[in-house]
Amino acid sequence: MYVSNMYHNHRFIDQDSSKKSIIPCTPLGIVKVLEYIGVYNTVLPFGNRLYGRVIAVINRSEVVGRPLAALLANDGAMVYSVDINNIERFTRGTGLKWHMHKVEKTDATLEDIIPLCDVVITGVPTKAYKLPTALLRDGVNAINFSAFKNFEDTVTEKASIYVPSVGKVTIAMLERNLLRLYDYFHNFSEATK
């Protein structure tokens, strides 16, 4: 249920909209980092707060990369999801006309998309991968969620904000999810007595 809700942009698990969906910890942690550094536009309504943003997620794993791309696209961003084989575009369409994101294949290359991006998020699980700083646009927000540093040492020459790790935020989101599930279980148990 939770995975389906995330991909289909259902933010609550109940009819009353009182119980929020559970989101995977690292993607949720990255969303919280983006909110904190001001990438989300708080003037816009929920679900549209990334409208106009172009974001690259370099990792399409089922654990972090794909859920993160879906979350960001469902919040209004145009997201380029990059993996070793190709680049896909996650979007809600022109003017956010769709309720949930759709995935489109592209022929774009990393060199085509990275200079367009307001935010670049990397999570390549190898020491050997380094995203060239020369591809980044000035003022980009650069976030790394890999255990390895995926940006070159010169990343701060282009990035207005560089977040080298999100591990502690991931742990905080795990605790948040556990507390939320505990609360849901015990409130449900009390209601059925």
CA 180 to CA 109: how far, in whole Å? 40
Please name the helix (run of DSSP H) or strand (run of DSSP E) that holds residue 68, with its range, or none: helix 65-74
Q: Is 69 within 8 Å of 96 (Cβ atoms)? A: no
Annotated catalytic residues are 25
Can you tell me the distance from the alpha carbon of 145 to that of 167, in angstroms, rounded to the nearest whole number? 7
Among residues 73, 79, 142, 140, the alpha carbon closest in space to that of 106 is found at 79
For 131, the token pair is 């995203």
